[in-house]
Amino acid sequence: MAKGFRGGYGGGVSPNLIKQAQKMQQDMLKAQQEIEEREFTAEAGGGVVKATVSGKKELLRLEIQPEAVDPEDVEMLQDLVVAAVNEAIRSASKAMGDSMGQLAGGFGGALGL
């Protein structure tokens, strides 16, 4: 070991940085809860199929207009349901990602990143 070497990271972590990290964690939990309580609706087929999911990405409602039901073309209806549900889930995921990204971006600035 070299003479005079003390190791460490320049005195440790500042209490201010710890407080900022704790606040960011609380803010992220709050934002996550707010997103999970929201509902996200998407349509397919010009609105004949509507799917609503929660921020937890659980299907809450599925609305199908009678004109979308064609016994000769069940496959089209299935495709519309899948498209609407997937789009609603993407909307919920995007909202969560945007919310977390904003919070994490603020923390990066506090670190000087």
pLDDT digits (tens, 9 = 90+) for 8-51: 555 577 888 888 888 888 988 998 999 999 999 999 999 999 99
pLDDT above 70: percentage of residues in the chain = 83
At 99, the pLDDT band (50, 70, 90 cuts) reads confident
Can you give the residue ranges of every domain in the chain? 25-100
Q: Cα torsion at 18, 22, 28, 31 (round to 10°)?
A: -140
Q: Domain 25-100 in CATH: superfamily?
A: Nucleoid-associated protein YbaB-like domain (3.30.1310.10)
Residue 42 tokens read as: 């998407």
Q: Does residue 113 register a pLDDT over 50?
A: no
pTM of the entire predicted model: 0.71
pLDDT of residue 111: 47
